Amino acid sequence: MAKLKLRSKQLRALGYPAGKVIGVAMDVAQKNYRRNTVEEVLEVLGEVLKSPKRFLKHDVLGRISSELVAEPEETVEEIKLREKPLAYKVFGSKFIDSTAKEQMNTALRLPVATAGALMPDAHTGYGLPIGGVLATENAIIPYGVGVDIGCRMCLSVYDITASFIGGHRKQLMNFLKEHSKFGMKEVHKDPEDHEIFERKAFSEIKLLSTLKDKAYKQLGSSGGGNHFVEFGIVDLYDKNEFSLAAGKYLAILSHSGSRGLGANIARHYTDLAMETCPLPKQVRHLSYLEMNSELGQEYWIAMNLAGDYASACHHDIHRRLGRAIGEKAAFMVENHHNFAWKETFDDGIERIVHRKGATPAKKGDLGIIPGSMTAPGYIVKGKGNPAALQSASHGAGRKMSRKKAKNSISGSEWKKTLKDHGVSLIGAGIDEAPMAYKDIERVMSFQNDMVEVLGTFQPKIVRMDRG
């Protein structure tokens, strides 16, 4: 059944006062009246507004009436920002655009913000900049996590020499065409069962129950934009922590997130946060949910489910391709880079650390920092740098907007670059051409105190959307 398309302006038109009660009413409606029409729901909400005391003991509508009864005694005041942002470290500042810095400055004026850092691949985002790391106290910002919850990297390395690619390029290209799916329409005809769909959250949170079927169909698929699945060559250094000796091996690298599941969770809870957290208009997308609130806890559960689902998608992709080449991976390295974590700082206080386009780099953490379709990615181990909030970049970072890339990069230039690097490409638009990205080696040069490099990954066969 279609989603209940209830809007806050419709509640205001009924006479609902601005503030928390609108967010509560929308939440109650989405959870309990999804099978009703908008007109029917508005009629019910109108009755509660007329006689709120009559519904105080109602199992469902009591939450709304309690807010309405209390409303005359409360005044909803706009949350004030700090006059100045908290101080924070910017890595590679010279190569980061001013708008990204301004966005980070704004985030660090939030009253719940406690610390921040800007990674060397940072660029302008929406709400938080891409490459922004923000710690908050008792608060979670849905848009600080981002729309693609749990967007992540996953690397499988095989005990097969790198020369395998040269003799099997066409076969590997066919494997990618057959076993990887991209964008809004492509899904596997035979989605595999996964324990993720047995999670209680799918039945206990109504929003998630409406998204379960689509999530099942999209399992093992990747999104559009800069998401990819690649065959390439891993070069392991002498000092590594894996089951293979130093040398060059066949590997699969994937980049994608939680598909429609995460996108819908992000939109739903961002809307609720903006209704219940009256921030100034210019920062409304940084609206937060208190962690000790019902909505905050609900979003936390949904976010973690989306992150685990993203991981399940990657594992499904790698399992399918591994079966196709007839080998099991010698080892796997993976990490989120659009997520939030509970982390305890030196003062012993737990904070929520949002990494929107940033790689966790606590001491000993393993991760992947990709370059572009022709530039190497890096297998790294975190050093736990406190100035970086134990984080690192999530890639090279864009130096051109998608529009600028389309208008300034020629197809012939792009094809020559691919040929010069020995890369076969399936799909992708010119907005994903390697020239649209920063120099990954320069980005990595600013991270010597954040991560140790254990090896590299060089793409050789790349599959993206529109292929």
Question: In the beta sheet, which residues pair with residue 157?
Answer: 251, 331
Helix 259-276 to helix 294-325 angle (10° resolution) is 170
Give the pair of three-digit tokens for residue 285: 């997308």
Which pair of tokens denotes residue 297? Answer: 């806890």
Q: What angle do CA 79, 143, 440 make, to 5 degrees?
A: 125
Distance CA 39, CA 44 (A): 9
pLDDT for the residue numbered 35: 85
Q: In 10 A of CB 304, how many CB atoms?
A: 16
Q: Where are the beta strands (DSSP E) in 38-182?
A: 89-90, 113-126, 128-136, 139-140, 152-161, 181-182
Secondary element (H or E) of residue 174: helix 169-179
How far is the CA of 236 from the CAs of 98, 239, 329, 453, in angstroms? 37, 8, 15, 10
- pLDDT tens digits for the chain (467 residues)? 456 788 888 888 888 887 889 989 989 998 888 888 889 999 999 999 999 999 998 999 999 999 898 745 455 688 999 999 999 999 999 999 999 999 999 999 999 999 999 999 999 988 899 999 999 999 999 999 999 999 999 999 999 999 999 999 999 999 999 999 998 889 898 888 899 999 999 999 999 999 999 999 999 999 998 999 999 999 999 877 888 999 999 999 999 999 999 999 999 999 999 999 999 988 999 999 999 999 999 999 999 999 999 999 999 999 999 999 999 999 999 999 999 999 998 888 899 999 999 999 999 999 999 999 999 999 999 999 999 999 999 999 999 889 999 999 999 999 999 999 999 999 999 999 999 999 999 999 999 999 999 999 999 999 999 74
pLDDT value of position 425: 96
- Residue (of 154, 143, 152) closest to 354 by Cα position: 143
List, in order, residues 6 or more apart from 381 with CB less than 8 Å away.
Answer: 241, 364, 365, 366, 367, 451, 452, 454
Would you state the pLDDT for residue 76? Answer: 64
Q: Which CATH class is domain 152-464?
A: alpha beta
Q: Is 401 left (phi over 0), alpha (psi -120 to 50) or beta?
A: beta
Q: Are strands 221-222 and 181-182 parallel, antiparallel or unpaired?
A: parallel
| Cβ–Cβ under 8 Å, residues 136 and 113 | yes
Strand partners, 154: 254, 334
Contact criterion met (CB below 8 Å) for 88 and 115? yes
Alpha carbon of 46 to those of 16, 31, 39, 62, 407: distances in Å? 9, 18, 10, 14, 51
- At residue 75, the pLDDT reads 56
Helix (H, G, I), strand (E, B) or coil at 34: coil
The β-bridge relationship of strands 128-136 and 139-140 is: unpaired
- What H or E segment, with its residue span, contains residue 456? strand 451-464
CA 444 to chain centre: 22
- How far is 222 from 317, CA to CA, in rounded Å? 9
pTM: 0.84
pLDDT of residue 12: 85
From 11, 131, 12, 19, select the one nearest 70 (Cα to Cα).
19
Domain residues of the chain, as ranges? Answer: 8-73, 152-464
Spatial contact of 369 and 377, defined as CB atoms under 8 Å apart: yes
Burial class (CB in 10 A: 0-12, 13-18, 19+), 327: middle
Q: How many other β-carbons are positioned within 10 Å of the β-carbon of residue 285?
A: 17
pLDDT score recorded for residue 19: 80
CA atoms within 13 A on the CB side of 191: 18
